[in-house]
Structure 1
């Protein structure tokens, strides 16, 4: 089985690669950002692709979308620092088959890779339970009303990118980004782009 890991943290890549390769039947290739990750996916045709959400440039959610445009059968596991269930929900909506957080047992990633490679799906029980009860919860994340594209734009705003830079990175028009920002301001009760940036930082998107 061939696994592609797309993550910009060398220590995490090294640790995950060693764990997976130690299984004996897994070959690991890696990339450090979405652009090189997409190229590595095309070149290596992995059985499973593991992507981080927060990377330089576009996020793992956008990379997931682009990979599935090329291969609708691609099997993707999102591996993220963020344990907010809204990110798991958006990852699944984007087409990922699994979601694992980096602050849990690393062998859950191995379990997820094997489950997804076999054609299944994998969500950690904690995340699955939070998603199941999120609609009835009084403490729903303020980000829950945002689409995957809006989350991506908000994350980039939090990273200090301007709307023109975001438009170029996400391959959409400036007008689309501007409209998304207007919609997000209404959804999040923000009045200015600076307030959107503050929300992104408070929610640890950037």
Structure 2
């Protein structure tokens, strides 16, 4: 989640890129050469994923360097890619989130909470982490803003220890217009209304 959202924590576990160590761990697990079905979307550009093919190439090379065998699958975004990901066909896939409102739950709760409408099983693969589920439920139920922020910081730290998904980036949406454009109001949901826009002389 973006650091501008209350509940973001800088005190999380981070992971250095270390292909040699990854190879050692795979060998210890008897999993060297494990095949991964890596799905990525075509015909789409998202704020969090402007170039899916390029992102696939970078991550695919990282995985190959670590000792995995990668089988690429490129599918049109909607419905093929989304349906395949939600059906659990991919071992690895790319997906992100554009926040609907400025709250930690809208980011990490959407993916990692144990709620009937959470996206974790569809988008990151099913996982069981009772400690994370409990932390997110407690934070979501806390009405005091300061306590809520602290609880979400703790939840973020638990998530980064467990690592059910690999965070890559976050990007603020941008609007670029000429100087003579008037009446454009930025939307917090990136759903701008253009009927109010006019051009000055």
Q: Same fold (TM over 0.5)?
A: no
TM-score by length of 2: 0.33
Is the radius of gyration larger for structure 1 or structure 2? 2
TM-score by length of 1: 0.32
